[in-house]
Amino acid sequence: MESVNLQSSLQTDVQTQAEMTQSSGRHDRNQDIGLGRGVYVSTYGCQMNVNDTERMYSLLEMANFTPVKTPEEAELIIINACSIREKPVHKVYSEVGRYRKLREKNPGLKIGVGGCVGQQEKENLIKNQPLIDFVFGTDNIDSLPNLVSQVFTDKAKVIQTKFEHRAPYHVETLVRNPGVSTFVNIAKGCDNFCTFCIVPYTRGREKSRPMSHVLMDVRNLVNRGVKEVSLLGQNVNSYHSEDGADFADLLKKVATDTGVERIRYTTSHPKDFNEKLMHVMADHQDKICEYVHLPFQSGNTEILKRMNRGYSREEYIAKINQMKKIIPNLVLSTDIIVGFPGETEEAFQDTMSLVEEIGFETIYAFMYSPRPFTKAAQFTDQIEEKVKNERLNRLFDHQDKIAFEIVKRYQDQTLNVLVESINEQGKAQGRSTQNKLVYFMGTADLIGKTVPVRITQPFPSVLRGELQQ
């Protein structure tokens, strides 16, 4: 019975999407392109990439490909790779290299590369690694079935990496089996051009989905059993619907007009986080989690200027203090880059002291890595790898001590936990509204329910507790 319901609601989504995309003429849906062939998508990167992979699987399944669990079972392999840090292109080449044996066994096997690496490298990928049959960019996911059809029928190499600058951003959420919690894209791209960041080049110009589409999407997901949505965008605070609604308006509407139980969002930019948004969060705390991820990147104002972040250390602190006043029990996390060009030991100490002053529960910290096309890659005062590495370790040690103290406050607190899964030993896993992972002993009927859990052992990365009856 349940699968019939899922099937029919997927069908509804498909029809909606078909209507939405007809005008842009991007692709035909539900053609038998796959003939049941197995498809495997290998993913690395952020939530946006994970979400894109789910979209690829959904579209390909509609075109009669069969998602499989290993590359060995596949006749179509796609690598969806992020390029924000490190050396993603090398990773892609070595992964494709590992598929040589599979190709020898099955000459019909097709291999494609998509996502940010596809967007960044374009035809170079095929020139450097002839095992690759096709390359597509971040704006071409909806054309994937057509593109793959061409690869299978024409047996020619295909490259499609054009940004659809003029097409409106109409992409309803496609998820095959939505769980308790699901991501919903609300905007894509970024116009901020932080000098270290490749995103404006790999994801293109910023575009928002119409508010009515997002609301319809969330309602559909709620009908399919979803309890929590995470609204996703590179910079959600810049969201602007064609009817004039901003992110605060959208968040409020999702809270009041969709029936969803819980809402999260990511990522926000400090310069655009306004008081209106703080009040919406405070006024709808029954639905909107009191958790904000607000990357500060560096605690030194000179470095922030060179990063083109649009705020100073003092402005960041002032914003956080205002948020703490307006949003009760606010919980914060952040992103930090160490070893940005020109970062002196004193500048790094400003980052260390800011981490302490604000008191983040979690930090995501990275060594600066020069990225193609970006301004900072041209700066002449690059920092040695050894120094970056040593600073990163010091920062993590510092944060470990801070977080250990902060999470002590959870001892004996009862938190509302939305249960996501349970293993065979009865260990249930869920998240609190503070975005904390919580483990406790429970039963399978609790999945999808929000239950009170008293915390007995708080650790920085996970809280252990007991279910309260």
In 65-198, DSSP assigns E strands to 66-67, 76-81, 110-114, 134-136, 158-160, 181-185, 187-188
Minimum distance of ligand 5AD from residue 338's CB (angstroms): 9
Nearest to 171 by CA among 210, 224, 219: 210
For residue 198, the minimal CB distance to ligand SF4 (Å) is 8
Q: Are 186 and 232 in contact (CB under 8 A)?
A: yes
Distance CA 143, CA 160 (A): 9
For residue 446, give the amino acid letter.
L
CB of 306 to ligand 5AD, least distance (A): 13
The residue among 65 and 368 lying less far from ligand 5AD, judged by its C-beta, is 368
Partner interacting with residue 458 (select from ligand SF4, ligand 5AD, none; CB below 5-8 Å by kind): none
Q: Report what 428 binds from ligand SF4, ligand 5AD, none; CB cut-off 5-8 Å by kind.
A: none
Could you say which of ligand SF4, ligand 5AD, none residue 366 binds, taking C-beta under 5 to 8 angstroms by partner kind? ligand 5AD
The three-class DSSP label of residue 469 is coil
Helix (H) or strand (E) holding 313: helix 313-326
Sign for the pseudo-dihedral over CA of 430, 434, 440, 445 = negative
Sequence-distant (≥ 6) Cβ neighbours of residue 119 within 8 angstroms: 83, 137, 138, 139, 161, 201, 202, 203
Q: Which helix (H) or strand (E) holds 40?
A: strand 38-44
DSSP structural state of residue 377: G
Q: Which does 337 bind (CB under 5 to 8 A by kind): ligand 5AD, ligand SF4, none?
A: ligand 5AD
Identity of the residue, 85 or 394, whose beta carbon is nearer to ligand 5AD in the bound complex: 85
Positions that interact with ligand SF4 (CB under 6 A): 190, 192-194, 197, 199-200, 234-235, 269
Nearer to ligand 5AD, 249 or 343 (CB): 343
H/E run at residue 16:
helix 2-22
Task: Look at residue 234 and give the partner it binds from ligand SF4, ligand 5AD, none, a contact being a CB closer than 5 to 8 Å depending on partner kind.
Answer: ligand SF4
290 vs 335 by CB, closer to ligand 5AD: 335
Tokens of 342: 């020109």
CA 388 to CA 215: how far, in whole Å?
44
Helices (H) and strands (E) in the chain, counts: 15, 19
Name which of 366 and 439 has its Cβ closer to ligand 5AD: 366
Residue nearest to ligand 5AD (CB): 335
Q: Which one of ligand 5AD, ligand SF4, none is in contact with 122 (Cβ closer than 5 to 8 A by kind)?
A: none
What are 338's strand-pairing partners? 367
Q: Answer with the entry of ligand SF4, ligand 5AD, none that 132 interacts with (C-beta below 5 to 8 A by kind).
A: none
Nearest to 187 by CA among 174, 168, 202, 160: 168
- Give the residue with the Cβ less far from ligand 5AD, 369 or 416: 369
| Residue 379, binding choice from ligand 5AD, ligand SF4, none, Cβ under 5 to 8 Å by partner class | none
For residue 336, the minimal CB distance to ligand SF4 (Å) is 12
Q: Residue 423 and residue 434: Cα distance in Å, rounded?
A: 23
Residues 6+ apart with CB under 8 A from 94: none
CB of 316 to ligand SF4, least distance (A): 14
3-state secondary structure of 254: helix
> CB of 337: closest distance to ligand 5AD in angstroms?
5
CB 214 within 8 A of CB 180: no
Cβ of residue 382: shortest distance to ligand 5AD, in angstroms? 12
Report the SS3 class of residue 15: helix
Given ligand SF4, ligand 5AD, none, residue 368, with its beta carbon under 5 to 8 Å by kind, binds ligand 5AD
Q: Write down the least CB distance from residue 295 to ligand 5AD, Å.
A: 4
User: Pick from ligand 5AD, ligand SF4, none: which does 150 bind, CB < 5 to 8 A by kind?
Assistant: none
Phi and psi at residue 408, to the nearest 5° = -60, -25
Q: Which is nearer to ligand SF4, 58 or 185 (CB)?
A: 185
Q: Which of ligand 5AD, ligand SF4, none has residue 190 at its interface (CB below 5 to 8 Å by kind)?
A: ligand SF4
DSSP for 99-160, please give it: THHHHHH-TT-EEEEEHHHHHHHTTHHHHH-TT--EEE-TT-GGGHHHHHHHHHHH---EEE
List of residues contacting ligand 5AD (CB under 6 A) = 84-85, 196-197, 295, 297, 335, 337, 366, 368-369, 371
Is the Cβ of residue 83 or residue 258 nearer to ligand 5AD in the bound state?
83
Nearest CB to ligand 5AD, comparing residues 316 and 368:
368
Peptide bond into 267 cis (omega under 30): yes
In whole angstroms, the minimum distance from the beta carbon of 281 to ligand SF4 comes to 20
Any residues with CB less than 8 A from the CB of 145 and at least 6 apart, and which?
27, 28, 29, 31, 33, 59, 60, 62, 63
Instruction: Between 197 and 455, name the residue whose CB sits nearer to ligand SF4.
Output: 197
Least CB distance from residue 271 to ligand SF4, whole Å? 9
Minimum CB distance to ligand 5AD smaller for 38 or for 88 = 88
